[in-house]
Every structure is written in structure tokens, then in C-alpha cells.
Amino acid sequence: MLCQLALSALALSASAVASTSSTVDTYVSSEGPLARAGLLANIGPDGSKASGASAGVVVASPSTTSPNYVYSWVRDSSLVFKAIIDQYTTGQDDSFLDLINDFITAEATLQHLTSPSGNITTGGLGEPKFYVNETAFEGPWGRPQRDGPALRSTAMITFANHLIANGNTTWVKDTLWPIIQLDLDYVSANWNETTFDLWEELQSSSFFTTAVQHRSLREGSALATAIKETSVVSGYDTQADNLLCFLQSYWDSSSGYIVANTGGGRSGKDANTALASIHTFDPAAGCDAATFQPCSDKALSSLKVYVDSFRSLYGINAGVAQNGSVATGRYPEDVYYNGNPWYLTTSAVAEQLYDALTVWNTTGSLNITSTSLPFFQDLLPSAATGTYDSSSSTYTTLISAIRDYADGFLAINAKYTPTDGALSEQYSKANGTQVSAVDLTWSYAAALTAFSARNSTKYASWGAAGLTVPSTCTANPGSTVSVTFTVEKDTSNGESVYITGNVDALQDWNPTAALLMDDKSYPNWTVTVKLPASQVVEYKYLTISNGTVAWEADPNNSISTPAKGTLAANDSWQS
């Protein structure tokens, strides 16, 4: 009887797996063309939902209210066009050439706009978003965001490499390289400065940003070598080594996951890490842990911790077993639109697992370490540390289970995708109805890249294989300028004036570490500080007396530091 029950359970399990696989097969077949159409509808000038957008400009979403996403984000645009360029360069879609050229022209225009982040020489490349008619957005926002230049250069380098392989080196060198170099130089000079994170909420250091910056400099160095622009190679290589070294600091070995941000007070469990893994996937690097490749033990352990954080958080995940697929969001503490699953984060989990399967199926072996063991034991409780080749039952059982697990995440998105294939930003954690921005371009791009990964599509290596992490990290100081701050302020006995601001040199808004100013020219208080060159810096004065902190009134003060030389900032205390 027990044997019969066990066989019945296995039969039911196999039936459920077959059903999920069939569901996802159908979803990929139907949603693929719809996602492509949805993505193209949001790109100017001809997209049906991109009214007013210039040629090659990606509209994040046609949603105009609650929220208004009719802007072009450098990050979103670069990720969208990386997907387009990947499809074009691998022969999946030959119709994209004119669109790619429009994108290159549009982004070159945006690079040279003066914005609240500065101009081309004073930090403007860190500006996160623009109006879709290629003019600067001047409202308040989380600035700077330093992942955009890295992602944009990576998209364009992929296209450049394709052109070189097809004999068009001259156009790459004369036209494309100057655009790419601007972004790479920005990354090289500013990677160790604080940045707003992937979700534009926290200002610290971000795993996603560091990972994509590292990739951009590696492949940028290789491109520069190929077109004989060798003067930049040594600098890019040096900073890439430093980035790789810094990348290791996000790993929390005691908790078994990658901490997404160095500040902000959250747990650090974040889709940021899965997205970084898939957007720095290099099939030639195998399961390299230093670059957190999708099948590395650290990336898999982190994925488990991230997914598990949503199991009991969302109503639509209720009743799912510990080894079952669930809807995931940005991070468990999220409150944006009350905190819900996102299409792109749930598909990112599937994509990381598909990428891992691609490597294991290519190499014909799978390695389980003590770090990744909890991930594998969810899917096969008897799994143990060791290396298993394709002839072993452990390998075949795990490969099948992981494929089914990955399909489960796409099946969830399929369940909450309407029949017309429209993908919003989020779907309700309570009942799966669509929430927030409609027709999010990034959602469509994420669906397409996950579908390609499910088909084991391989793209060219970007140089992640065989890298050695330096024994010591060296932060890139970048260019600095001397800034003298002066503020007039009458103070009482025992009261002193301090300054803090949004860069490391001004102690990152930390009042307990704020810089004491000199009162030798009382009532003028002064201090001279070395600040990053070519950057918008926000700051505020405060007084401290017997441990009591009193800030001057809003708004923040702001300066744009020059590329070189000195600057004097003369202010009056804001009452």
C-alpha cells in the first residue's frame, strides 16, 4: 500500500510538472510576439504609445497619472535596447537596425544635455531620466544614478563588436567609440562615489550598479584594444580590478546572500542581485563566484534567500510549498503602491535559473558546495556537497527539478497576464490584478530575455572568465577640486556650525560626523574640502550645542563643482 501511495504521489507530481511546462510553452509562444509589440509601441517616433517621443527614445510607460512614467530613463532604455541589440546581433530579428541607429543618435543627444546633474563635463552623465522629446527634466529626483552610463555603454559595445566582426571597424572607431568612451570614462572616474540604487530610493553603493560597472569597463577595455584606442586600456583595467574587488564586499557569508545596498537600513534582500546576475551573465565564465554568475554557489544561495522572503508576504503565494515557485517583488520592505510582485522581478528569477541550466548543460556537470547546498536541498532533500556529472542520477534529477522550478516563475506571470498580453509594472499581492504603470517597457523586455534564456540562447563573452580578485581593493579617488564653504551665522556660547552633504567628503548627511567649520572670521564660518570634480553636490549647515543638533531650513544648498581648479560657496544661514 505504501509503495502504491508513493507511486501515486510521483505520478501526480509528474503530471503537475508536465502541466506547468505546457503552460509555459503556451505562454512563451503567445506572449513572445505580444511582448515584442508592446515594447516597440513604446519607442519613438513611430510607436503607437510613444506619442511625442523622439526617434530612438524609449518611453518607460504611456501611463500619464498615478504614476506618470512618460519619461525616458537611461537605465530602462539601455536594458531595453540591450535586448533589442542581442536579438539583432544573433540573427533573431533583422528588422531592428534602423531602430538601433536611432537609439545611438538619441542617447548621444542626451549625453550632451545640461541637466540638474550637470553637463557633459560636470556630472551630467549621472542624470537618470529625461523628457521623451530629448529635453532635460529639472524637477527633484534621486540624483545621480551611476548604472545608466555602464548599461548604455554595454548595449552599444555589443553592437560595436558585431559591426567589427562584419568589417565595419571604421564606423565604430569614428562614430560609436566617442559616445561609448564618454560613458566609460564616467564609470572609471566615479564608480566609487555614492549613487541612488536601482529603484531610485537609497543613496549608497549598490550591488547592481557595481556589477554592471565592472562589466562595462572589462568589455570597454577589450573594445578599445580592438580599435587601437589603447591610451584608455590601462586605466579601465585598473578600475575594473578595483570594482571586482569591491564587488566581493556585498557578500554576507554569515547570512548566505548578497546584500544589495550598503546603506538604507533594509535587509538587503533585493531583486537587485538576481538582476545583476542575469545582466552580467557570461556563458564562458561557467559558475564563477567572483562575478556572481547565475550558477555560482553565492548567486544561487542569494536567490534562495531572496525568493524565500516573499513566500509568506503575498496573499497570492499562500499555500505554496517551500520548493514551489512564488511571485516576487523588489524587496520585502517595499511600500511603493503597497508593495507588490513585479513581472520583471519574477521573470528575473526564472532567467537566472535558465542561465544556470545553460551552463550546466554545456559543461555536463553540476557542483554543490556548502554555500549552495540549501538551494539544492529545497529541490532534492537528499542532495549533498560534491560534483555530479551528467551520467549521475543526482545531476539528471536536479536539472529536471530546476527546469520545472524556473518554469514555475513564468507560469505565475502567465497566470496574471491578461489575454491581450499587456504587462504593467506590478500585479496585486492580494489577487493578481495589474497595479501601477501600464505597459511598462522594461516588463516587456524582461519577458523577452527570460524567454530567450529558456531557449538556452547564448551571447558572446564579455570577459568574466579567468579573472582574479585583487588581494586588496584600491578606491579610485577620481578628480577632486578644492571648495571653500562660508556661511554667516550668529551663534550662542558653546554652539558651533557644521556642514554635511550628499558625498563621502561631506559625510553623506550624517550629522554625527559632520565637518566642524572654522569661526576665525566670525560671524562667518568656513571650511575647505576636497570634493569630486564635475559633480552636483548638495549640502546643508547645522549647529550643534551640548549634543543638540539644529539644521538650517530647507531647501538643500547646491553647487556644481568644476572639472578642475577651486570654488568658493558663500551662503547665508537659511532660517
Annotated binding site for substrate: 141
Do the beta carbons of residue 184 and residue 153 sit within 8 Å? yes
Determine if residue 290 is left, alpha or beta; phi over 0 gives left, psi from -120 to 50 gives alpha, anything else beta. Answer: alpha
Helices 441-454, 393-415: inter-axial angle, 10-degree rounding: 150
Residue in the structure block whose three cell numbers are 502504491: 4
Asked about 197 being catalytic, the answer comes back as yes
The answer to whether the beta carbons of residues 366 and 388 sit under 8 Å apart is: yes
Find the distance separating the first CA and the last CA of the chain, reported in whole Å.
82
50 three-class SS: coil
The residue among 185, 122, 124 whose CA lies nearest residue 150 is: 185
Number of C-alpha atoms within 13 angstroms, CB side, residue 132? 28
- Of 31, 107, 197, 425, the catalytic one is 197
In angstroms, the Cα distances linking 32 to 48, 87, 234 are: 18, 13, 42
| φ, ψ for residue 537, nearest 5 deg | -120, 130
User: What pairing do the DSSP bridges indicate for beta strands 386-389 and 426-427?
Assistant: unpaired
- In 3D space, the residue among 574, 573, 560 whose CA is nearest the CA of residue 483 turns out to be 560
**Residues annotated as binding site?**
141
Q: Active site residue: 200, 201, 508, 519, which one?
A: 200
Helix axes 147-165, 97-111, angle to 10 degrees: 140
Those residues with Cβ within 8 angstroms of residue 393's Cβ, 6 or more apart along the chain or in another chain: none
Q: Which residues contact 44 (CB under 8 A, 6 or more apart)?
A: 50, 52, 53, 54, 55, 56, 57, 59, 132
Are the C-beta atoms of 322 and 380 separated by less than 8 Å?
no
Beta-ladder partners of 525? 487
Q: How many CB atoms lie within 10 A of CB 139?
A: 7
The residues, ordered by sequence, that sit 6+ positions from 567 with a Cβ below 8 Å of its Cβ are 481, 482, 483, 484, 559, 561
Instruction: Looking at 135-252, list the stretches that DSSP marks H as alpha helix, in order from N- to C-terminal side.
Output: 147-165, 169-171, 177-190, 207-226, 233-247
- Judging by beta carbons within 10 Å of its beta carbon (0-12, 13-18, 19+), is residue 510 exposed, middle or buried? exposed
Location of C-alpha cell 564586499 = 249
Characterize 380-411 residue by residue with b for buried, 16 or more Cβ atoms within 10 angstroms of its Cβ, and e for exposed: beebeeeebeeeeebbeebbebbbbbbbbbbb
294, HSE (Cβ side, Cα atoms, 13 Å): 25
Residue 237 phi/psi, 5-degree rounding, is -65, -40
Q: Would you state the cell numbers that stand for residue 215, as one nine-digit string? A: 562589466
Catalytic residues: 197, 200
